[in-house]
Chains A and B, each alone.
Chain A
Amino acid sequence: MRRTGGRVALLTLVAGGFAFLYLPLIVLVLFSFNASKLVSVWGGWSVKWYGELLRNEQVLMAAWLSIKIAVINATGATLLGTMAGLALARFGRFGGRLLFTGLIAAPLVMPDVIIGISLLLTFVSMEQLIGWPAGRGVDTILIAHITFSTAFVAVVVQARAGGLDRSIEEAAMDLGARPLTAFLLVTLPMLAPALASGWLLAFTLSLDDLVIASFASGPGSSTLPMVIFSKVRLGVTPEINALATLLIGAVALAAGGATWVQIRRMSRG
């Protein structure tokens, strides 16, 4: 009796938790198809806000800029983060390891405003000292994004590399493969899932960042979150619902696909 009671209580709490996570998103998606301009009044089904969205030049340009930045950031952060993750998982003790570990852990928790202001002041100081970067724009946003995304990729890669069976690499090297060849042919394919999720994580983080991009950007380089933020501050606009639905849909598709692959792999054993 006691056990089932506990079970029901736990299930209720879990269901409540998931409802809390999903209800706002579901309402958002539903109301993106609302004909009425008011968020609480249902005015029948309509896709007119999607049409409005597609005609909004400012949003489209910002979205395109954000996607470009996110792709370059994800690639750069995956390169740097993979190196850092491997160093932490594989290279044992080296001079300065403690500081290195701190440099990987700190960006994970550091408040955005602190990262943002410190990078902007650094860019200004660098410009005074060496004349670069001249002003702020896409390049400074990229540097800022790569800086904080690298840490996230490093953690993902470190976790995966720490769990890998090293004997396969050692076997390859015993059979005459040079360390670099063994790394490219053996280690890298085994790391591939971590690289993929690290890349996606860095992509999402960049696409999502408002605060750091606001500090690092200059005139003429407004990213999508910056445009959304200024719209949301002025009031609720239904076309943002449409935009959110498209983004949520894309994420759901990617995540659903990834889960499906994982489940199939598991059921195959």
Chain B
Amino acid sequence: MAAVSEGRRPFWLSGRGVVTGIPYLWLFVFFLVPFAIVFRISLSEPMIAQPPYSPLFGADGGYQGSFFNYELLFDDALYRAGYLNSLWVAGCATLVTLLIGYPMAYAIARAGALARNLLLMAVMLPFWSSFLLRVYALKTLMADTGLVNALLLSLGVIDSPIRMLQTDFALYVGISYTYLPFMILPLYATLERLDWSLVEAAEDLGCRPWKAFLLITLPLSIPGIIAGAMLVFIPATGEFVIPNLLGASDTLMVGRMLWDTFFNERDWTLASALAVVLLLFLVLPIMLFQVVQQRRGATS
């Protein structure tokens, strides 16, 4: 009935249009337009001024943008290595997170109603407590004089402390640890909605539990795996805090290079170009994530 009376007015002038329009406008101005501005600044050259980059149009109105910063990025082996290493580290950490998270999501989805709620809360609890403090907790544990080394030394397993901090190992542990809930929750959502009678039917027909899992449960949970993997992989690629606190001082990751270029070298134009290229690397995964989200929204 309401649809009829509102149908006469165009959508954007109706009450619904206003409700949609306000958040739309906000995100447009403060989320979408900023990318255009970053792209625009990446075409300028750095200069000592306020703001510290050359104008896009000269005093005579002529266009004077250049791909100077992009050439710099592609010519320098350091930056190439930074991008590749970011993708590699994020990919490995995502795989580790999936291997740890899948059994947990599976068990939670198959638990009774009460246990399920408690276990979900137990997964969420570390997520609610500070990200930074969880990284800090890992740092204390893995330090040369930390508890893990102290324990191993006193048990006589090792003679001298193992160096864990400032290695890639610490990086993988850090990302898997802090992003684990992001993997478990979408996986759980998919597994919880799964039609378990299919698995039972397979087992009744003589399929072994492992085979039933591989042939039925795993393929049906692929949307959850993709959503979880994207929620871990994309932010991990641009991660700044974890490589800075746990990784080696020369760990090459784009997030960290971007931060250093911006705050330490104060080259806003090169930092912008770093962000644009990183974004290009992530556009495909982000679109994949959105497609999975929409499909899940449509089926629910």
Residues of A within 8 A of B (CB): 2-3, 6, 10-11, 13-14, 16-18, 20-25, 27-28, 31, 38-41, 80-81, 83-84, 86-88, 91, 94-96, 99-115, 117-119, 121-122, 124-125, 128, 143-144, 146-147, 150-151, 154, 158-159, 162-163, 170, 173-174, 179-180, 200, 204, 207-208, 210-211, 214-215, 225, 228-229, 232-233, 236, 240-241, 243-244, 247-248, 251-252, 254-255, 258-259, 262-263, 266
Contacts and interface: CB of A to CB of B under 8 A. Distances in A.
Contacts of B2: 173, 179
10 contacts: A25-B126, A28-B136, A38-B145, A88-B297, A100-B20, A110-B234, A112-B255, A117-B272, A119-B34, A225-B130
Contacts of B123: 21
A6 B210 CA distance: 9
A96 B24 contact: yes
A100 B24 contact: yes
Interface of A is mostly: helix
Interface in B236-276: 237-241, 244-245, 255, 258-259, 262-263, 268, 271-272, 275
Contacts of A91: 11, 16, 20
A259 B240 contact: no
B19 interface: yes
B137 A87 contact: no
Contacts of B107: 10-11, 13-14
Given A101-B290, A111-B234, A210-B241, A21 B180 contact: yes
Given A2-B209, A103-B28, A158-B297, A25 B129 contact: yes
B41 interface: yes
Interface of B is mostly: helix
B33 A17 contact: no
A242 B187 CA distance: 34
A146 B23 CA distance: 10
Contacts of B272: 117, 121
A67 to B, nearest CB: 13
Nearest to A106: B286
Given A83-B20, A255-B121, A208 B131 contact: yes
Given A14-B103, A262-B117, A113 B145 contact: no
A24 B137 contact: yes
A115 B284 CA distance: 18
A95 B136 contact: no
A231 to B, nearest CB: 9
Interface in B86-130: 100-101, 103-104, 106-107, 113-114, 117-118, 121-126, 128-130
Interface in B138-176: 138-141, 143, 145-147, 149-150
The 6 closest A-B pairs by CB, nearest first: A111-B238, A118-B34, A24-B137, A84-B23, A13-B103, A87-B20
Nearest to B258: A113
Contacts of B22: 80, 83
B20 A103 contact: no
A240 B136 contact: yes
Contact of A118 (B51, B132, B275): B275
B231 interface: yes
A108 B279 CA distance: 14
Contacts of A173: 1-2
B258 A109 contact: no
Given A10-B106, A263-B114, A266-B117, A255 B134 contact: no
Nearest to B5: A179
Given A38-B145, A41-B150, 5 more contacts: A13-B104, A114-B238, A179-B15, A263-B114, A266-B117
